Amino acid sequence: MIKKFVDYCKLCYEELAHKVTWPTYKELTQSAVVVLSASLIIAVVVWIMDLTFKSLMGMVYPG
């Protein structure tokens, strides 16, 4: 049982150390900028939708 676990850990290390391609700093930075931009755009769209529905509900239910 313990031998299987140790073998599993060794295989995981080998895969992470030698088979996985890690992004460069430039690629990581570009990806972060894309995610941040998309998040901000989605937040602005949701905010605009919220204001629109708030105005519509204000017309339907005045007071």
The answer to whether 12 touches 20, Cβ cutoff 8 Å, is: no
Q: Cα separations (Å) of 37 from 26, 44, 60? A: 16, 11, 35
Please tell me the predicted confidence (pLDDT) of residue 8: 96
**pLDDT tens digits for range 43-60:** 999 999 999 999 999 999
pTM above threshold 0.75:
no
b/e for 18-45, b at 16 or more Cβ within 10 A?
A: eeeeeeeeeeeeeeeeeeeeeeeeeeee
Q: What is the DSSP letter of 18?
A: I
Per-residue pLDDT tens, the chain, 63 aa: give them: 899 999 999 999 999 999 999 899 999 999 999 999 999 999 999 999 999 999 999 999 987
